[in-house]
């Protein structure tokens, strides 16, 4: 890592210093402060090294949004591992094609995906399978990857231009392919969020989109880098979403149909005006965009992105030019 580079792990350390007692991550009953995050990241990174993982090795991940997922991504930035983010909604056959291409040395999954993990085991993954819920005949416990020592590691950090994530793209000719993202790529996308949405608008994030999707991933890191709070939804539940927005004072979330409509319907049924909500972004029809802006104080942003490789190429409030996909964002140029 170059002296002039600034990594995601550097952000983790800085936030622990600057926002030590602020809540960084909420997942179910778990609440982690910014002071606690690097301790968990160091413990996991050291544990992965102790288990024999080396810089450049790949780890397959078959998880819904959860704290383990977020902390694993952070630990991989520290020691140069590459996370293969499997889409939980794809078939085992598509997952097999991705793993055949990427050749991970381990697979981390949750118990609800044990059947898929069993099918993927036939790919002769070089190391053990790890389950975040409990060990089984099929797998070891995720806890085995945690070292008791939470102190900072002495190993040098990888460059921010090296691979960090592989996100599978839509299948072309029946074969999905993986987009390799670096830390610099994701931080640039996070900067777009910060520049266009503003720090106040993204300080409380309902992580309703999956982390294995580039928009959920980018939004989560944008909020983290800026010292905000990420509240993870394992799976979308409109009643829980409305409850969390109100109880955690959340300010924004990403949406694809029918997420926004279901949130608005549930809020109306429970007499909630989603008072803290400032912004929703994504894709939506005019009717629900108008409902959001009439029934709450939030603004809907729409835009265009390059699938799994980046966040917004264009973005703007939908009301500025209904039907358009927005203006070019901070780091993009668009020519017609």
Contacts of 194 (CB under 8 A, 6+ apart): 202, 222, 225, 226
Superfamily holding 33-182: ANL, N-terminal domain (3.40.50.12780)
Q: pTM above 0.85?
A: yes
- pLDDT of amino acid 331: 86
Closest to 230 measured CA to CA, from 61, 76, 73: 73
- pLDDT of amino acid 203: 98
Q: Residue 325 and residue 322: Cα distance in Å, rounded?
A: 8
Which residues does residue 315 pair with via DSSP β-bridges, in sequence order? 303, 327
C-alpha triplet 259, 293, 274: angle, nearest 5°: 65
What DSSP letter does each residue of 156-200 carry, written as one string? PPPPTTSEEEEEE---BTTB--EEEEEHHHHHHHHHHHHHHH-TG
User: Can the peptide bond before residue 258 be classed as cis, meaning omega within 30 degrees of 0?
Assistant: yes
* CATH code for the domain defined by 184-328: 3.40.50.12780
Q: What's the length of the chain?
A: 336
- pLDDT of amino acid 1: 58
Q: Residue 104 and residue 58: Cα distance in Å, rounded?
A: 4
Domain boundaries, the chain: 33-182, 184-328
- pLDDT of amino acid 171: 65
Please report how the helices 8-18 and 183-197 are oriented relative to each other, as an axis angle in degrees rounded to 10: 50
Q: Residue 4 and residue 162: Cα distance in Å, rounded?
A: 15
- pLDDT of amino acid 137: 57
Q: Per-residue b/e over 285-302, b at no fewer than 16 CB within 10 Å?
A: eeebbebbbeebebbbbb
- Per CATH, 33-182 and 184-328 having the same topology is answered yes
Ranges in the chain, pLDDT < 70: 1-3, 123-127, 134-139, 171, 306-308
- Give per-residue pLDDT as tens, 225-269: 999 999 999 999 999 999 999 999 999 999 999 999 999 999 999
Contact 286, 322 (CB under 8 A): yes
Neighbours of 235 (CB within 10 A): 11
Residue 30 burial by CB count (10 A; 0-12/13-18/19+): exposed, middle or buried? exposed
- pLDDT of amino acid 127: 59
- pLDDT of amino acid 169: 79
- Give per-residue pLDDT as tens, 47-61: 999 999 999 999 999
Q: Residue 77 and residue 61: Cα distance in Å, rounded?
A: 15
């Amino acid at each position: 890592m170059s002296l002039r580079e600034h990594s995601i792990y550097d952000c983790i350390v800085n936030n622990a210093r600057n926002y030590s007692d602020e809540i960084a991550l909420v997942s179910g009953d778990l609440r982690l402060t910014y002071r606690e995050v690097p301790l968990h990241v160091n413990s996991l990174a050291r544990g992965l090294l102790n288990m024999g993982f080396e810089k450049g090795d790949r780890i397959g991940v078959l998880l819904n949004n959860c704290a383990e997922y977020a902390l694993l991504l952070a630990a991989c930035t520290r020691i140069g591992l590459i996370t293969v983010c499997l889409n939980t909604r794809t078939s085992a056959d598509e997952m097999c094609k991705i793993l055949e291409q990427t050749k991970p040395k381990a697979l981390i999954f949750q118990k609800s995906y044990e059947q898929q993990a069993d099918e993927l085991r036939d790919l002769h993954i070089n190391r053990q399978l790890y389950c975040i819920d409990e060990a089984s005949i099929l797998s070891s416990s995720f806890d085995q990857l945690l070292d008791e020592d939470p102190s900072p590691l002495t190993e040098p950090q990888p460059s921010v231009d090296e691979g960090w994530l592989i996100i599978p793209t839509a299948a072309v000719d029946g074969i999905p392919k993986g987009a390799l993202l670096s830390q610099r790529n994701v931080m640039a996308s996070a900067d777009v969020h910060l520049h266009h949405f503003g720090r106040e608008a993204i300080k409380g994030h309902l992580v309703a989109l999956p982390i294995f999707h580039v928009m959920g991933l980018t939004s989560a890191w944008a909020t983290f880098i800026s010292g905000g709070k990420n509240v993870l939804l394992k799976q979308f539940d409109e009643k829980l979403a409305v409850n969390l927005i109100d109880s955690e004072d959340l300010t924004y979330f990403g949406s694809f149909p029918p997420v926004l409509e279901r949130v608005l319907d549930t809020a109306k049924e429970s007499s909630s005006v989603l008072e803290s909500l400032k912004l929703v972004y994504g894709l939506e029809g005019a009717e629900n965009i108008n409902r959001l802006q009439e029934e709450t104080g939030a603004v809907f942003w729409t835009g265009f992105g390059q699938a799994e490789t980046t966040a917004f190429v264009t973005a703007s409030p939908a009301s500025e030019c209904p039907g358009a996909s927005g203006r070019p964002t901070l780091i993009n140029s668009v020519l017609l």
